[in-house]
Chain A
Amino acid sequence: MNRSGRPQRIITHVFLILFTAMVLFPVAKVFQIAFQDRQSFDMRLSVLPDLDHLTLDNFSHVVGRSKTEGFGAEEKQTWVFGHQLFNSLVVSLATTLLGVFFATSAAYAFSRFRFPGRRAGLLGFLVIQMFPGTMMMIPLYILMDHLGLLDRLLGLILVYSTTAIPFCVWMLKGYFDTIPKELEESALIDGASRLRIFWSIMLPLARPAIAVTALFSFMTAWNEYILAQTFMTEEIATTLPVMLNGFVSKTTVEWGHFAAGAILVSIPVMALFFVLQRHLVAGLTAGSVKG
Chain B
Amino acid sequence: MRVLLSCFLLVLAVLPAEAAPVELKLWHAYRAQERTALEKTIALFHASQEEIRVKLTFISYDAYLDKLNAAIPLGHGPDLFIVSHDRIGNWADSGMIAALDPLLASGTINRFFKKTVEPLVYRRKLYGLPTSFKSAVLFYNRDLVPQAPVDTREMIALAEKHSGRPADGGLPNYGLAWEHSDLYFHASWLFGFGGSLFDSAGEPVLDSPANVASLNFVRNIVAERKLAPLDVTANKVTSLFNEGRAAMVISGPWFRGEIDAQRINYGVALLPVITSTGRRARPFVGTEAFLLSARSTHVPAAVQAMDWLTGDKAARVRLLEGFQPVANHALYDAQVLQKRPAIDVFRQQLKYAVPMRASPEMGLVWVPIKHALENTVRGRASASEALAEAQRLVRLRIEEYRQGHQLKDRGQDLLPALAWGIGGGLFLLLLLSALFFRRLKRRLREVWRQRGAYAYLSPAVLATLVLIFFPFVMGLGLGFFRYYQGEYFFVGGKNFVDILSSREYSLTDSFSFYFKLVMTIVWTATNVFLHLTIGLGLALLLKDPLLKCKGLYRVLLIIPWAIPNYITAIIWRGMFDADSGVINHVLGLEGFSWWSSTSTAFAANLVANCWLGFPFMMVVCLGALQSIPRDLYEAADVDGASRWQQFRQITLPLLKPALFPAIILGTIWTFNMFNIIYLVSRGAPNGGTDILIIEAFRWAFERGDRYGYAAAYSTLIFLILFTYTLMTQRITKATEGVFD
Contacts and interface: CB of A to CB of B under 8 A. Distances in A.
B633 interface: yes
B61 interface: yes
A35 interface: no
A174 B623 CA distance: 13
A116 B233 CA distance: 56
A43 B562 contact: no
Interface stretch (B141-149, B505-513, B576-584): B576-584
A125 B643 CA distance: 39
B658 interface: yes
Interface in A258-279: 258, 262, 265-266, 269-270, 272-274, 277
Interface in A67-93: 68-72, 74
B488 to A, nearest CB: 11
A133 B446 CA distance: 35
A143 interface: yes
A214 interface: no
Interface in B659-680: 659-662, 664-665, 668, 671-672, 674
B538 A288 contact: no
A106 B461 contact: yes
A277 B674 contact: no
Range of interface residues on A (Cβ < 8 Å): 35 or more
A246 B456 contact: no
B571 A102 contact: no
A186 interface: no
A285 B620 contact: yes
A206 interface: no
Nearest to B584: A43
A66 interface: no
Given A26-B572, A230-B63, A265-B564, A288 B633 contact: no
Given A45-B582, A108-B456, A128 B243 contact: no
A23 interface: yes
Interface string B56-87: 11111111001100110010100000000000
Interface in A185-218: 194, 198
A23 B611 contact: yes
A109 B544 contact: no
Contact of A143 (B234, B437, B443, B470): B470
A253 B235 contact: yes
Interface in A164-195: 165-167, 169-170, 173-174, 177, 194
B89 to A, nearest CB: 20
B461 A248 contact: no
A106 B554 contact: no
Interface in A213-238: 219, 223, 225-226, 229-230, 233-235
Contacts of A285: 619-620, 622-624, 626-627, 658
Given A116-B443, A131-B472, A248 B459 contact: no
A14 B17 CA distance: 77
Most buried by A among B460, B627, B646, B693: B460
Contacts of B27: 233
Contacts of B457: 105-106, 109-110, 121
B47 A71 contact: yes
A291 interface: yes
Contact of B254 (A45, A69, A135, A251): A251
B422 to A, nearest CB: 12
Contact of B725 (A112, A123, A173): A123
Nearest to A6: B546
B559 A27 contact: yes
Interface stretch (B198-206, B319-327, B707-715): B707-715
B456 A29 contact: no
A131 B737 contact: no
Nearest to A274: B555
Given A230-B67, A289-B623, A26 B456 contact: no
B499 interface: no
Given A262-B567, A281-B622, A128 B464 contact: yes
B556 A233 contact: no
A23 B557 contact: yes
B611 A165 contact: no
Given A235-B57, A289-B623, A132 B717 contact: yes
Given A119-B739, A131-B714, A16 B541 contact: yes
Interface stretch (B96-104, B350-358, B447-455): B447-455
A153 interface: no
Contact of A270 (B39, B437, B444, B559): B559
A142 interface: yes
A226 to B, nearest CB: 8
Contacts of A273: 555, 558-559, 561-562
B697 A266 contact: no
A63 interface: no
Contacts, number: 366
B459 A102 contact: yes
Contact of A135 (B565, B637, B643, B710): B710
B128 interface: no
A97 interface: no
Contacts of B697: 132, 134
A270 B623 contact: no
Contact of B696 (A74, A135, A251): A135
Given A131-B717, A177-B740, A230 B70 contact: yes
B460 A105 contact: yes
Interface string B462-481: 01101111111011101000
B187 to A, nearest CB: 17
A122 B444 CA distance: 19
A256 to B, nearest CB: 12
Contacts of A108: 456
Given A71-B46, A273-B561, A280 B619 contact: yes
A85 B447 CA distance: 46
Contact of A130 (B435, B460, B668): B668
B8 interface: no
B627 A289 contact: yes
Nearest to A21: B556
Nearest to A15: B541
B544 A1 contact: yes
Nearest to A289: B627
Contact of B234 (A105, A251, A287): A251
Contact of B564 (A145, A223, A286): A223
A83 B500 CA distance: 48
A121 B457 CA distance: 10
A140 B471 contact: yes
A151 B74 CA distance: 13
Interface string B254-267: 11001000000000
Given A134-B674, A284-B623, 13 more contacts: A26-B572, A29-B575, A101-B459, A113-B450, A122-B739, A128-B464, A139-B470, A140-B467, A174-B737, A230-B63, A253-B570, A266-B564, A284-B620
6 contacts: A71-B43, A126-B668, A132-B674, A251-B258, A274-B555, A284-B623
Interface of A: 1-4, 9, 12-13, 15-16, 19-20, 23-27, 29-30, 40-45, 68-72, 74, 101-103, 105-106, 108-110, 112-143, 145, 150-151, 158-159, 161-163, 165-167, 169-170, 173-174, 177, 194, 198, 219, 223, 225-226, 229-230, 233-235, 241-242, 244-246, 248-253, 258, 262, 265-266, 269-270, 272-274, 277, 280-282, 284-291
Interface of B: 27, 29, 31, 39, 42-44, 46-47, 56-63, 66-67, 70-71, 74, 76, 171, 234-235, 238-239, 242-243, 254-255, 258, 432-433, 435-437, 443-444, 446-447, 450, 452-454, 456-457, 459-461, 463-464, 466-472, 474-476, 478, 538, 541-549, 551, 553-568, 570-572, 574-575, 577, 580-582, 585-586, 611, 619-620, 622-624, 626-627, 633, 637, 643, 646, 657-662, 664-665, 668, 671-672, 674, 693, 696-697, 700, 707, 710-711, 714-715, 717-718, 721-722, 725, 737-740
In the A-B complex, the 5 residue pairs with the smallest Cβ-Cβ separation, listed nearest first, are A285-B623, A113-B453, A71-B43, A106-B460, A115-B450
